[in-house]
Amino acid sequence: MSRFPSVPVIEAVTPALFENEIRPGNRPVILKGLAADWPCVAIARQGPEALYRYLAQFDGDRRGRVSVLPETETRYFYQPDLKGHNFQNVERSVTHLMRQLLRMAEEGSRQSLYMQGQPLDDFLPGLAAELNMPLFPAAVRPRFWIGNSLTTPTHYDGSENIACHIAGEKMFTLFPPDQIANLYPGPLLGGPGGVPVSMVDLDNPDFDAYPRFAEALDHAVEARLDPGDAIYIPAMWWHHVRTDGPLNLLINYWRDLVPVQAYPPLAGLLVSALSIRQLPEPLRTSWKHLMDYYIFEAAGDPMQHLPKPHHGFFEDNPSPQQMAALKAIVRQNV
């Protein structure tokens, strides 16, 4: 039974529909059957053993990081003191990991293993040629996620995401970016996946410790994916992922929207923590007004009343030379 309203479902998504309607909407959408024609989806329907044999033929025998939870845990999270994580990492090839997962399923083991976000071209060379992704540029390369039953806590990604479900069961619960205060994020740096995760356990929320989480639940939506379905997750949307089954596979595409010549947005946040956040009130509020005006364009284009030659760094598409000059100024002042 669904706990939250469903993410909208759209079938037969074309590149034009995706670019003109779905992306501008900046909300999650289930892309029904987007990957239904992929060979790996058809083979996965034959069972975990068939999927194992299919993927093994592409295995380049490269070893990658596999996260291992204690048998008493199913959620990848922080340690109680927030100084580390509740899982250990080991090195495995894809074939080794899949054999281990199948053996654990036969033995009835409840321990969770997860190989997360690895580049498909590096670990399973040749498999990407069998995948059709018409919605992102070809330069956006696929990554894969292999594991068994586990929970990924509520977190965000800085890139927009198309996640294609191949095998097992997958449930996403999503929250819009403006719910950050109600999600109680953990430490800004050092999260289990490199980003902060919500301190609240979605399956067993402590409303005494996190009372505003009740408001976040009013904004939650969920998406249950069938094999062959995909979900579009706009950048910065928070999402909680529950995965079930003995051998799960998801292939995703992260599209980074930050221009190549720009600094990562996190750098701006960290510099602001070193500068603006340290100011006394009301000076800090005055700088907030300045940021709203120049960066977030709360009153519209901040340069519209000036001749174009004076727009400088605030042109719609600054040149590489302008960006290089701006970086030089930043380096002089930081």
Report DSSP letters for 288-331, one per residue.
HHHHHHHTS-TTS-TTTTS-GGG-GGGSSS--HHHHHHHHHHHH
Whether residue 274 sits in one domain with residue 171: no
**Segment 195-205 mean pLDDT:** 96
Of 24-33, 51-60, 188-197, the poorest mean pLDDT is in 188-197
In a domain, 161, yes or no: yes
Whether residue 199 sits in one domain with residue 112: yes
Q: Is 227 left (phi over 0), alpha (psi -120 to 50) or beta?
A: beta
The C-alpha atoms of residue 90 and residue 210 are separated, in whole angstroms, by: 34
Residue 122, Cβ neighbours under 10 Å: how many? 12
Banded model confidence at residue 261, pLDDT cuts 50, 70, 90: confident
- Please write the tens of the pLDDT for every residue from 80-131: 999 999 999 999 999 999 999 999 999 999 999 999 999 999 999 999 999 9
In a domain, 199, yes or no: yes
Whether residue 308 sits in one domain with residue 191: no
Residue 94 CB contacts under 8 Å (≥ 6 apart), including other chains? 55, 56, 59, 62, 64, 115, 123, 124, 146
Among 232, 255, 278, the domain-final residue is 255
pLDDT cut 90: percent of the chain above it: 86
pLDDT in the model for residue 106 = 95
Whether residue 76 sits in one domain with residue 222: yes
Structural domain boundaries, residue 323: 265-333
Q: If you count them, how many residues does the chain have?
A: 334
Whether residue 195 sits in one domain with residue 282: no
Q: Computed from CA positions of residues 220, 240, 264, 15, in that sequence, does the dihedral angle turn out positive or negative?
A: negative
As for how many domains the chain has, the answer is 2
In a domain, 4, yes or no: no
Per the prediction, the chain carries an average pLDDT of 95
Among 207, 222, 255, the domain-final residue is 255
The C-alpha atoms of residue 160 and residue 257 are separated, in whole angstroms, by: 8
In a domain, 142, yes or no: yes
Whether residue 269 sits in one domain with residue 251: no
CA 203 to chain centre: 20
Q: What is the CATH number of the domain that holds 194?
A: 2.60.120.650
7, with CB counted inside 10 A (0-12, 13-18, 19+), is: buried
Whether residue 276 sits in one domain with residue 187: no
Whether residue 18 sits in one domain with residue 118: yes
- Please write the tens of the pLDDT for every residue from 268-302: 999 999 999 999 999 999 999 999 999 999 999 99
pLDDT in the model for residue 319 = 84
The C-alpha atoms of residue 33 and residue 190 are separated, in whole angstroms, by: 35
- Please write the tens of the pLDDT for every residue from 1-54: 578 999 999 999 999 999 999 999 999 999 999 999 999 999 999 999 999 999
Whether residue 175 sits in one domain with residue 143: yes
Q: Assess contact for 180 and 210: CB atoms under 8 A.
A: no
Query: Does 212 score more than 80 pLDDT?
Result: yes
Whether residue 244 sits in one domain with residue 285: no
In a domain, 272, yes or no: yes
Among 197, 228, 255, the domain-final residue is 255
Query: Does 242 score more than 80 pLDDT?
Result: yes
Whether residue 242 sits in one domain with residue 308: no
My answer on whether omega of the bond before 227 falls inside 30° of 0, hence cis, is no
